[in-house]
Structure 1
Amino acid sequence: MIDRTQVLHVAKLARLQLTEAEVGQMSTELSSILGHIEKLNELDLGDVPPTAHVVATDGTLRPDEVRESLEPAVAFAQAPDIADDGFRVPSPQA
């Protein structure tokens, strides 16, 4: 069972402000989640190979080949603002 102190510690790390009712609710919910994880830990996975993806994949991508691209006039045709043969975009705000 996750107690109040542990919930408050996790909330602080996550920078969350919880009401007393939410602390109780989170304690119950987190305890339930950890209970489900404990059930998963009971599985015998000794002969199951580790995987990085749930679907078998060989990790290949398409070949990186030079292909024709748009002519600049076509690419800039609907651009709201262009400058020096490029798209002008607003500068990020600090």
Structure 2
Amino acid sequence: MLTTDDVYKAAHLARLSLAEDKAATTTQAIANILDLVDQMQSLDTTDIEPMAHPMDATQRLRIDEVTEVNQRELLQSQAPAVEQGLFLVPRVIE
């Protein structure tokens, strides 16, 4: 069973603020969603073929054509550090 404390903990982890007057309704809404997920997971889908989209529709795509000129050299000439055609940036991951 989902409690209001669980919702507060999840909100804290997600860095979301949760007003006290909305805590009960938010807890109930999340509990309803989780109940629906449980219902869907309990269905037997062994004979159902997976599908990417419920409609057999094709997307109309535009022609893939270049609309801007290549400005790599101009942009890299203004960059603080470039090596072998790549922008060099400070390391952010140790």
Shorter-normalised TM-score: what interval?
0.5 to 0.7
Unpaired stretches in structure 2, ≥5 consecutive residues: 66-94
Give the % identical residues: 26
**Length-normalised TM-score, structure 1:** 0.52
1:31 aligns with 31
Once residues 62 and 24 of structure 1 are traced to their aligned partners in structure 2, the CA distance between those partners, rounded to angstroms, is: 46
Higher RCO structure (Cα 8 Å, ≥6 apart)? 1
Tell me: CA distance 1:49–1:24, structure 2 relative to 1, closer, same or farther (3 Å). Answer: same
User: Normalising by structure 2, what TM-score?
Assistant: 0.52
Structure 1 residue 38 displacement after superposition: 1.4
Q: 2:20 is matched with which residue?
A: 20
Uncovered stretches (5+) of structure 1, i.e. residues with no partner: 67-94
Query: What is aligned with 1:51?
Result: 51
How many Å apart are 1:65 and its aligned residue? 7.6
Q: 2:3 and 2:56 mapped to 1: Cα distance?
A: 41
Match of 2:40 in 1: 40
Question: CA 1:4–1:65 in 2, change beyond 3 Å: closer, same or farther?
Answer: closer
Could you tell me how far apart the structure 2 residues matched to 1:60 and 1:29 are?
35
Cα deviation per residue 1:51-84 (whole Å; 9 max; x = unaligned)?
1111125x67669587xxxxxxxxxxxxxxxxxx
**Structure 2 equivalent of residue 11 of structure 1:** 11
The alignment yields a C-alpha RMSD, in angstroms, of 2.6
Q: How many residues align?
A: 65
